[in-house]
């Protein structure tokens, strides 16, 4: 009986101590969560580049809304408009791909080499593909995009290789 009373008292003490000193927040912070450098890098790259390319979309929207002649005059500037639109579209979608890659790394059993190669290729493609469209759209020559478009095929090859590195290990 006295034992029971003691136990209850002890329990009461414990509860009041817990109220005064609540346990640490169970939600892990970015610093102490067990994520790999690639997961953190692509998570950050994906969200920051999404911000940049959604901003580009808003700028394009503004040029359409104010009928900026440089952007809306069909004929003269069709190539500029198409290139900038493609930069925005590919940039936003590649940003989302980075976030998806980061989220799926924990589920994939990628060997270290393939993980690093896929990560580098995807990061480079995220800059080169929309960057090539963007630079190609800033200065055009007649109906042809500017020289910046040369970044695009390099980005496309790297993207393909990065996707292949991931795809070939998905069944394991
Ligand atoms: C994750 C977010 C987004 C994605 C995936 C996305 C994707 C795309 C795609 C695929 C196109 C090309 C459509 C086509 O050519 O038929 C496009 C065009 C466009 N987007 Fe976005 N978009 C996003 C957010 C935004 C935002 C927030 C704005 C601005 C408020 C915006 C403004 C535009 C404009 C103005 C065009 C057309 C440009 C033109 O025709 O000159 N987008 N977007």
Q: Mapped to the 3 state alphabet, what secondary structure does the chain carry?
A: CHHHHHHHHHHHHHHHHHHHCCCCCCCCCCCCCCCCHHHHHHHHHHHHHHHHHHHHHHHHHHHHHCCCHHHHCCCCCHHHHHHHHHHHHHHHHHHHHHHHHHHHCCCCCCCHHHHHHHHHHHHHHHHHHHHHHHHHHHCCECCECCHHHHHHHHHHHHHHHHHHHHHCCCCC
At 47-87, the pLDDT tens digits run 999 999 999 999 999 999 999 988 888 676 789 999 999 99
> What is residue 16's predicted lDDT score, i.e. its pLDDT?
53
Does residue 11 fall inside a structural domain? no
Distance 56 CA to ligand 1 centre (A): 9
Distance 133 CA to ligand 1 centre (A): 14
Does residue 51 fall inside a structural domain? yes
Average pLDDT, the chain: 87
Write the residue with the smallest CA distance to atom 42 of ligand 1: 57
Q: What angle do CA 139, 142, 143 make, to 5 degrees?
A: 95
Total domains present in the chain: 1
> What is residue 45's predicted lDDT score, i.e. its pLDDT?
98
Does residue 17 fall inside a structural domain? no
Q: Compute the distance between CA of residue 41 and CA of residue 98 in angstroms, rounded to an integer.
A: 9
Distance 50 CA to ligand 1 centre (A): 12
Q: Candidates 88, 93, 99, 129: which one to mutate for ligand 1, based on the most atoms within 8 Å of Cβ?
A: 88
Q: Range of 69's domain?
A: 37-167
Which residues line the pocket of ligand 1, CB cutoff 6 A? Answer: 54, 57-58, 60-61, 64, 81, 85, 88-89, 92-93
CA dihedral sign of residues 60, 82, 158, 146: negative
For residue 96, the ligand 1 atom closest to its alpha carbon is 1
Write the residue with the smallest CA distance to atom 1 of ligand 1: 92
Write the residue with the smallest CA distance to atom 12 of ligand 1: 89
Q: What angle do CA 12, 13, 16 make, to 5 degrees?
A: 85
pLDDT at 90 over 80: yes
* Least confident interval from 5-14, 46-55, 86-95: 5-14
Does residue 141 fall inside a structural domain? yes
Does residue 5 fall inside a structural domain? no
pTM (predicted TM-score): 0.82
Does residue 122 fall inside a structural domain? yes
At 129-155, the pLDDT tens digits run 999 999 999 988 888 999 999 999 999
More confident residue, 35 or 148: 148
Q: Compute the distance between CA of residue 61 and CA of residue 80 in angstroms, rounded to an integer.
A: 15
């Amino acid at each position: 009986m006295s034992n029971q009373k003691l136990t209850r008292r002890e329990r009461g003490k414990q509860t009041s101590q817990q109220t005064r000193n609540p346990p640490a927040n169970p939600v892990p912070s970015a610093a102490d969560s067990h994520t790999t450098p690639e997961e953190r890098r692509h998570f950050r790259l994906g969200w920051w580049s999404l911000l940049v390319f959604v901003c580009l979309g808003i700028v394009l929207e503004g040029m359409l809304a104010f009928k900026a002649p440089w952007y809306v005059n069909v004929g003269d500037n069709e190539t500029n408009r198409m290139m900038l639109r493609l930069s925005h579209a590919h940039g936003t979608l590649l940003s989302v791909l980075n976030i998806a890659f980061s989220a799926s790394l924990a589920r994939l059993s990628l060997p270290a080499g393939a993980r690093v190669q896929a990560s580098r290729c995807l990061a480079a493609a995220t800059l080169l593909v929309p960057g090539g469209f963007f630079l190609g759209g800033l200065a055009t020559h007649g109906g042809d995009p500017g020289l910046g478009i040369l970044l695009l095929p390099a980005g496309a090859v790297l993207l393909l290789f990065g996707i292949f590195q991931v795809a070939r290990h998905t069944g394991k």
